């Protein structure tokens, strides 16, 4: 099993790159400056396991984590994605202890972690922090519900478009390091179906695929090829997360990324 590791180099990324950390009340980051640790999350790392108490809460910066439910036969089913828009490890701070899902790093990158017990104590004493976090929980529930609908009713090509768009929103880059096998595993479909869908998008010059790297060439066409699920989730999540977010903190996290990192492709 891959493990996370402390990564001082992640200090190049400001904690505010994560939208949850950026939206917390003034003083939150200063109170947790020491216990908030920069970590590197390698692809495949399991941040928490099903039924096991979670020690840490993770705030991804440019990593993307898949929340996965594992069936008895070992087949995985993705329920949601978490990146710079959220946090991983809600169960302990919601009072639930463990959860039937597990958190697996889909795309490696930097994150910040905080002992769950310390965030729990913060939420008990700071109503504004708790209110914002509850909005995020509702947004995550929306994503989970819509993911279930998408699996049941929409084509592999539509699901692929939604997956790529969802990762783009959490990565700030038009390049996505994923193989077709990884995509098939994430969507819970056969690789042949992913190959057919990806080839169709490449032929239409929507994406370029080469050696495990997907480059999005035309985001507009990618959105046009997605089903309604992407728009439903994005609209509802943007609405919920803006309710508690003061105007002065509505700065795009893209501006907080690596100092010399190029702007993302529109």
- Domain count for the chain: 2
Kindly state whether residues 64 and 168 are assigned to the same domain.
no
Assign residue 192 the CATH number of its domain.
1.10.10.10
35 and 103 together in one domain: yes
Do β-strands 101-107 and 64-70 pair in parallel, antiparallel, or remain unpaired?
antiparallel
Contact assessment for residue 208 and residue 215, using Cβ atoms and an 8 Å cutoff: yes
Q: Report the C-alpha gap between 99 and 92 in whole angstroms.
A: 9
Has residue 140 been placed in a domain?
no
Residue 133 lies in a domain: no
pTM for the model stands at: 0.84
Domain assignment of residue 170, given as a range: 155-226
| Cα–Cα nearest to 214, from 256, 174, 156, 263 | 174
Has residue 263 been placed in a domain?
no
User: Which pLDDT value is given to residue 12?
Assistant: 64
What is the chain's pLDDT, residue by residue, as a tens digit (266 residues)? 445 565 655 556 777 789 888 888 777 777 776 788 899 999 999 999 988 888 999 999 999 999 998 887 877 888 999 999 999 999 888 887 778 889 999 999 999 999 999 889 888 888 888 888 899 999 999 999 999 999 999 999 999 999 999 999 998 788 999 999 999 989 989 999 999 999 999 999 999 998 889 999 999 999 999 999 999 999 988 888 776 554 444 444 333 333 333 444 43
In a domain, 50, yes or no: yes
Query: Are residues 105 and 195 located together in one domain of the fold?
Result: no
Q: Please give the pLDDT value at position 3.
A: 56
Are 20 and 118 in a shared domain? Answer: yes
The pLDDT, as a whole number, for residue 5 is 60
User: Rounded CA gap, 254 and 169, in Å?
Assistant: 10
Same domain, 98 and 166: no
Angle, in degrees to the nearest 10, between helices 116-125 and 127-153: 120
Task: Give the pLDDT confidence score for residue 164 in this predicted structure.
Answer: 96
């Amino acid at each position: 099993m891959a493990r996370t590791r402390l990564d001082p180099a992640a200090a190049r990324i400001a904690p505010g790159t994560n939208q949850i950390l950026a939206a917390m009340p003034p003083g939150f980051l200063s109170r947790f400056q020491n216990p908030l640790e920069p970590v590197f999350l390698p692809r495949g790392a399991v941040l928490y396991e099903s039924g096991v108490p979670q020690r840490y809460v993770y705030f991804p910066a440019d990593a993307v984590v898949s929340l996965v439910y594992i069936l008895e036969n070992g087949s995985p089913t993705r329920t949601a994605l978490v990146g710079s828009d959220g946090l991983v490890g809600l169960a302990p701070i919601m009072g639930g202890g463990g959860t039937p899902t597990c958190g697996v790093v889909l795309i490696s990158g930097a994150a910040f972690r905080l002992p769950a017990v310390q965030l729990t104590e913060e939420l008990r004493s700071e109503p504004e922090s708790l209110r914002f976090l509850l909005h995020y929980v509702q947004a995550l529930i929306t994503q989970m519900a819509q993911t279930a609908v998408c699996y049941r009713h929409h084509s592999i090509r539509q699901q692929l478009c939604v997956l790529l768009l969802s990762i783009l929103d959490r990565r700030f880059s038009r390049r996505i390091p994923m193989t077709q096998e990884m995509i098939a595993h994430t969507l819970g479909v056969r690789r042949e179906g992913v190959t057919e869908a990806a080839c169709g998008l490449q032929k239409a010059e929507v994406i370029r695929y080469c050696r495990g790297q997907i480059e999005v060439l035309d985001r507009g066409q990618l959105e046009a090829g997605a089903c309604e699920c992407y728009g439903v989730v994005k609209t509802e999540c943007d609405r919920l997360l803006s309710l508690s977010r003061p105007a002065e903190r509505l700065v795009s996290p893209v501006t907080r990324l690596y100092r010399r990192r190029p702007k993302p492709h529109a």
